[in-house]
Structure 1
């Protein structure tokens, strides 16, 4: 948060204090503690991380989040700076623009790995909760459509990008199509589909599926 934002935030807090001298009752009625917790979680901050940023103990932060401690205005200003939010964001319902400030980084070979006989899926951005997209990479072990007992199908839509090797995309209403590295496809996930490697080495692909 830059100096201008901090000054603006301080002015907002001061104005609110002048208009609402009994501000502690107002904060409690608005359940500010749980709101601080929600914002901290949206920003992917642990209590320890917020403690380090704010200089407040984890115990103090936990009490505030659970409405067991009513923070002073000075303490609130410290939290505003550490959370990088405005007074209105802190006291109102969590806003969509705050949700959109989330960010996740997944390094190569990181992320939970889920093995199946046909695929090895590595989840990306797995720590982000309530996301609308499910991104993951896959190593395609399957070499024949006969490897699948039935079509893969689920709700939503899906994007596929071949990262390395070559695959054959099977969809129940279309002829199989070969995709090389750099090729992609977008299709309805409710349509039966399956993917097999047709290159010497197992192909690597990126999937992005919608979550309905």
Structure 2
């Protein structure tokens, strides 16, 4: 996929007041691509892309990741997480920056700010919330379940059920999917490195 000029991608990713759907539209326009071009490259239907650009809603977690990758950026950059330029990051309890809501029941909060080698997140997953499909990317992942439980599928055929207190590590290039299959909210500390998510 043609990449937008670095300055355009950086500017769009760093404006937290701009809705994420509008950021994606501007990235698409800067790349001189139509909705049909993006749909063909990402397998996301044109109608879903159009709705997302207008409302910042309706895109699954997997699709949001695919769209960011198509435009040569990350979900963290688009969400405004990389807006800070500092050598340390103190984030007080409850003062987490929250990613724009796109997938139903999935709340992602940034536990560290700035351009870091690790992306540190707190996932709050309502019952039934999921990645809505398998995805993969560069890097490594570590997660620790604080409350509830989480089902993970790796490589399409390796199933893991993580309970509160369990930790899990895997290489991000392995196809993976996840789902909260329990009847209560699940909270997970999720760390990706490098910043490729």
State TM-score, norm by structure 2.
Answer: 0.49
Structure with bigger gyration radius: 1
Q: Relative to total residues, which structure has the larger helix share, 1 or 2? A: 1
State TM-score, norm by structure 1.
Answer: 0.46
